[in-house]
Amino acid sequence: MIALLSFFVILLLSLSIVRIAAIMLQLTGLSADAARFQARSAFTGTGFTTRESEMIIGHPVRRRIIMGLMLIGNLGLVTFISSLVFTFLRARSALEMASTGAILIGGLLLLFFVSKSKILDSLLSKIITRLLRRWTKLHTTDYDGLLNLSGDYEVIKSLIGPNSWCTERSLAELQLSDEGVLVLGIYRQDGYFIGSPKGSTFIYDGDELILYGRDERIRALTDRKAGEKGDTEHREAVDDQNRIEGKRPAPLPNSSRKGFRGFFRKRE
């Protein structure tokens, strides 16, 4: 019975650790679903490769949380299995083994229903979040939900080359926002970072831009070369963005309109 009791204690501690880790991941900016999935994946050693996994590797706090989960999960799994095996080895008869199995199944079902309780989950989340905010420096921001990254929109780093359409031009001149692309930040070659750059900020060869927008549009911008062809691609991208936003095409210049009127008058 002591071995069976230790089994449930280890299981309860494991569930609690995974829950705490999931909330800690949420406080670093992951959504609730992604945080729970990554916490369970790391604890069990499943190791799924997803976009969230790449975001965890590049984040120092998330990386430490996942490393701790993996270590605790490996130690807990060995103890978990040994307690379970020892429980059944201690059974002296078939009746005792059956009763032990019934207690085990009943306990597992009880823990399952308790873990599915929304009231308990909400209460536990509030307590853990309050304690983490008090004793740690983690801040809660769901960047995926905030930036709507679940759809076609992405935050992507783009390295600017010497022949890029963006090189040696200011953000005001590029007018990337007209294409539906926002520049969130710029990493210079010397390591200097410019957050929320202004229109007067210039882009240079070797800069790394942090861009927000539709994945297809950002990748097209990354491959765009300098020259007249690049300017044409920019105008096409602006027209495409206007269609997406439901805007009317830009009116023709006055000289062009007069030319068209004169053309039709001549035909008359």
State the sign of the Cα–Cα–Cα–Cα dihedral 169, 172, 178, 182.
positive
Q: Which residues are paired to 227 by β-bridges?
A: none
In tens, the pLDDT along 26-71 reads: 777 777 777 888 888 887 777 655 555 666 666 667 777 888 888 7
Report residues of the chain scoring pLDDT below 50. 140, 252, 255-268
Residues 6 or more apart whose CB falls under 8 angstroms from that of 134 comprise none
Return the structure tokens found at 262: 């004169």
Structure tokens at 212: 């927000």
User: What is the per-residue pLDDT for 3?
Assistant: 58
C-alpha to C-alpha distances, 114 to 57, 111, 117, 124, nearest whole angstrom: 32, 5, 5, 12
- Compute, in degrees rounded to 10, the torsion defined by CA atoms 242, 244, 248, 254: 20
Please tell me the predicted confidence (pLDDT) of residue 228. 92
Give the pLDDT confidence score for residue 266 in this predicted structure: 42
* pTM for this entry: 0.47
Length of the chain: 268
pLDDT on residue 19: 82
pLDDT at site 261:
46
pLDDT at 233: 94
C-alpha 89 chain-centroid distance:
46
What SS3 state is found at 198? coil
Q: What is the pLDDT of residue 210?
A: 92
pLDDT of residue 133: 67
Tokens of 248: 């009317």
**For the chain, give me the number of helices (H) and strands (E)?**
11, 6
CA angle 224, 203, 158 (to 5 degrees): 50
The first and second tokens of residue 220, run together, are 């097209």
Tell me the HSE value of 44 on the side-chain side, using a 13 A CA sphere.
11
Q: Environment class of residue 90 by beta-carbon count within 10 Å: exposed (0-12), middle (13-18) or buried (19+)?
A: middle
